[in-house]
Amino acid sequence: MEATPILDVRSVVESIDGNNNSSPVYQVESLCMRCYENGTTRFLLTLIPHFRKILLSAFECPHCGERNNEVQFAGEIQPRGSRYHVEFSSGDQKMLNRQVVKSETATIKIPQLEFEIPPEAQRGSLSTVEGILLRASNELQALQEERKKVDPQTAEAIDQFILKLKECAAGNSSFTFILDDPAGNSFVENPFAPSQDPALSIEFYERTREQQALLGYLVGPPQASEVSTGAALNSNAGPHGSVGAVAGRRAIAQSNSAEFAEAICRYTAPEEVMTFPSTCGACAVSCETRMFVTNIPYFQEVIIMASTCDACGYRNSELKAGGAIPTKGKKVSVIVKDIRDLGRDVIKSDTASVIIPEIDLELESGTLGGAVTTVEGLVTKISEALERVHGFTFGDSLEEGEKEKWQDFRARLVKLLSLEEPWTLIMDDALANSFIAPACDDIKDDQQLTIEEYERSWEQNEELGLNDMDTSSADATYNSINSS
C-alpha cells in the first residue's frame, strides 16, 4: 500500500501556519507495522489559524521506508455534529483544491458513486478534496493484483469504480462531497470566505444516542417514554433537514456562563424558580434542575432551565420557546447608531439567519446555533466564529489576494463596533423565536427597531417538518377534555 509521504511534521505545520515555529517537536521510538523494526514518530501540538488545536504526528521507518501522518484533535468535542455538503461541477478542477480537515470520527460520502469512507477506513487527516479521492483510489488499487488471482470479477468491478473515482478527482465528473462528523471537528474550506459559498452548505445537528456513545459519552438505556415518543414521531414522517418536526420545542440557546443569567433575569423574579430532580448529562449522577417561566416584554413566553452537578461540576443553562409554534415567521431589524444600541439584548434562535447588508454579511440559519447576548456580543461571536470556521485563512498556501480580501472583511466587521457609521442588523427567523430588545419603554417609540411578520413558504415549512405535522388527534383529545 502506498503511504502518504511526509518528510517532517514541522513542514506540515509551516504549510498552514507560517507563524507557529516555536512549538516543540516531541520524538518517540515506535514499532513499524510493515517490517516490525523500530522507527520514529514525531508529535507536534499546534493551532490551525481560525480553526482549533490539533496534534500532528508523523511516523518514519529508516529500515523499510514506511511513512505516514495523522491528525488528532486536542480540543473539546463540539456541542453539535456537523455535516458539510459540497456540489462539484464537471470541469471545475480548481474547486477540488479546497482544504479538508477530517477527524477520526468523520464519514465521507459520494452519493452518485454510492461510495463511503467510514471513520475507521481513514484516520484523521489534513488534505484536499482531490487528495482524499486520490488516496482512496490508491488504497483500492493496492491489492488489485491479489484480487485478480482470487476473484477476477470483483477485481474488474473495482477497476471500473477506480476509474470513476479518478474522473471525479480530475474534475471531469459532477458529484456531491459529504463530510459528516458527529464530533463537529471536521471542516471544509470556503474559498470565497467571508462571502457565502454557493456550492457549500453546512448543517449542524443533534447527535443520536448511538453517536453519543461512539464519542465516549455515558449514555444510559432509553426510557420507555422516549421509545414511544420516538416511534410516534418517526412512524409517518422522515427527516426534514437540520431542524425537524420538533423545532418549535428546541432550545433557543445553551450557555454555561453568568452572562446568560444576567441577560435573562432582568425579566423575572428569583422567587418564581421551581426545582425538580434530574440526571447529570455528563456523569449520570442525580442532580437538580431549576426552571422558571417568564414573559419577555414585546417577545413571548420563554422557559428557562439550569442544571448544576455537584459531583463533576457540569453546568448547563437552556432557554426554550413557550407556547405554540407561531403561524408566521418574523424578521427583526435594528439600525445601530450609538453605544446604547450595542447594548440591546439579543436572543438568536438556532433557526435564525443573520444579515448585515453594509458589509455584505449573510449567515444561514444554524451557523452560530442559539445565543443569548447583546448586539455587540453577537458581532463579536460572528467574528470569532468566522475566524474559527474558515481555517487556513492566513496560511502560507493561501493566495495573497484572498488573504487581503479576508483581512479587509474582518477589519470592516470589527469596525462596526466603533460606530463610525450607522449599520443595520437583521435577524430572519422562520419560527419567530428571535428577539432584539427595544431601547425605550414603548416599542412603538423605537424608530430604529423594525419587526416584520411574513407567511412562511412551503419550502420553509418542509425544512421545519411542519408540512407533515398532524395534530388532529391531539386537538380532538383536547376538545373532548374541555367539553367534559
Among candidate residues 124, 118, 103, the one with its CA nearest the CA of residue 4: 124
* Residue 279 sits in the same domain as residue 394: no
Number of domains within the chain: 4
Query: What pLDDT, on a 0 to 100 scale, did the predictor assign at position 389?
Result: 57
| Per-residue confidence (pLDDT) for residue 236, from 0 to 100 | 39
Asked whether residue 220 is domain-assigned, the answer is: no
**Greatest CA span in the chain, whole angstroms?**
86
Q: Is residue 366 within 8 Å of residue 350, measured between CB atoms?
A: yes
Q: Domain for residue 229, yes or no?
A: no
Predicted confidence band at 425 (pLDDT cuts at 50, 70, 90)?
very high
Pairing status of strand 81-88 against strand 175-181: antiparallel
Q: Is residue 4 part of a domain?
A: no
Indicate whether 360 and 308 sit together in one domain: no
Q: What is the CATH number of the domain that holds 283?
A: 2.20.25.420
Residues 42, 138: one domain?
Answer: no
**Where in the sequence is the domain holding 258, given as residue range(s)?**
249-323
E strands, 388-448, in order: 423-429, 435-436
* 255-259, 300-304, 326-330: the lowest-pLDDT one: 255-259
* Average pLDDT score, the chain: 76
pLDDT digits (tens, 9 = 90+) for 154-194: 889 999 999 999 999 988 889 999 999 998 888 888 877 66
Please check whether residue 222 lies inside any domain of the structure. no
Q: The domain that contains 195 carries what CATH number?
A: 2.60.120.1040
Report helix, strand or coil for 248: helix
- Is 287 found in the same domain as 301? yes
Query: What is the rounded CA–CA span in Å between residue 96 and residue 280?
Result: 44
For position 15, what pLDDT does the model report? 43
Task: Answer whether 108's CB lies under 8 Å from 177's CB.
Answer: yes
Cα separation of 74 and 43, whole Å?
12
Question: Which pLDDT value is given to residue 104?
Answer: 82
Average confidence (pLDDT) over 282-288: 79
Whether residues 107 and 59 share a domain: the answer is no
The residue written with cell numbers 463579536 in the block is 380
pLDDT at 371 over 50: yes
Dihedral class, residue 203 (left if φ above 0, else alpha if ψ from -120 to 50, else beta) = beta
- Higher per-residue confidence, 61 vs 482: 61
Strands 175-181 and 345-348: unpaired
Dihedral (CA of 76, 78, 81, 84) sign: negative
Asked if the structure places residue 344 within a domain, the reply is yes
Q: Are residues 338 and 459 in the same domain?
A: yes
Condensed to tens digits (0 to 9), the pLDDT of residues 254-274 reads 555 555 556 655 655 544 678
Please tell me the distance from the alpha carbon of residue 166 to that of residue 158, in angstroms, as a whole number.
Answer: 12
Q: Which of 443, 330, 427 is nearest to 379 (CA)?
A: 427
Dihedral angle over CA of 144, 148, 150, 154, nearest 10:
80
In DSSP terms, 27 is beta-bridged to 42
Q: Which of 371, 374, 376, 352 is nearest to 426 (CA)?
A: 352
The secondary structure element, H or E, covering residue 205 is strand 200-205
Q: Same domain, yes or no, for 296 and 342?
A: no
Q: How many CA atoms lie within 13 A of 83 on its CB side?
A: 12
Among 215-219, 286-290, 379-383, which stretch is predicted with the lowest mean pLDDT?
A: 215-219
For residue 243, tell me if it sits in a domain.
no
Q: What is the pLDDT at residue 248?
A: 40
Averaged over 292-300, what is the pLDDT? 72
Same domain, 93 and 48: no
Name the CA radius of gyration of the chain, rounded: 26
In this predicted structure, the answer to whether residue 355 has a pLDDT above a threshold of 80 is yes
- Whether the per-residue pLDDT at 7 is higher than 60: the answer is no
> Three cell numbers at 74?
486536542
The pairs formed by 155-164 with CB atoms below 8 angstroms and a separation of 24 or more are 161/113, 161/115, 162/137, 164/113
Percent of the chain whose pLDDT exceeds 90: 15
Q: Are residues 305 and 415 in the same domain?
A: no
- In DSSP terms, 436 is beta-bridged to 346
Of 323, 354, 373, which residue sits at a domain end?
323
- Domain check: are 253 and 340 in the same one? no
pLDDT tier, 50 (very low <50, low <70, confident <90, very high otherwise): very low
- Alpha-carbon distances, residue 34 vs 277, 285, 352 (angstroms): 55, 46, 52
Domain boundary among 289, 323, 357: 323
Q: Which residue in 307, 312, 291 sits closest to 218, CA to CA?
A: 312
What pLDDT is attached to residue 1? 37
Has residue 1 been placed in a domain?
A: no
478 in any annotated domain:
no
Contacts of 160 (CB under 8 A, 6+ apart): none
Mean pLDDT, range 137-159, rounded to an integer: 88
> Quick one: 194 and 253 in the same domain?
no
Contacts for 150 with CB less than 8 Å, ≥ 6 apart: none
CA–CA dist 204, 159 (Å, integer)? 36
Confidence of residue 243 (pLDDT cuts 50, 70, 90): very low
pLDDT over threshold 60, residue 237: no
On whether both 460 and 336 belong to a single domain, the answer is yes
pLDDT (tens digit per residue) in 112-141: 998 999 887 777 777 889 989 998 888 888
Domain-terminating residue out of 287, 306, 323: 323
Residue holding cell 405535522? 469
Amino acid at 221: P
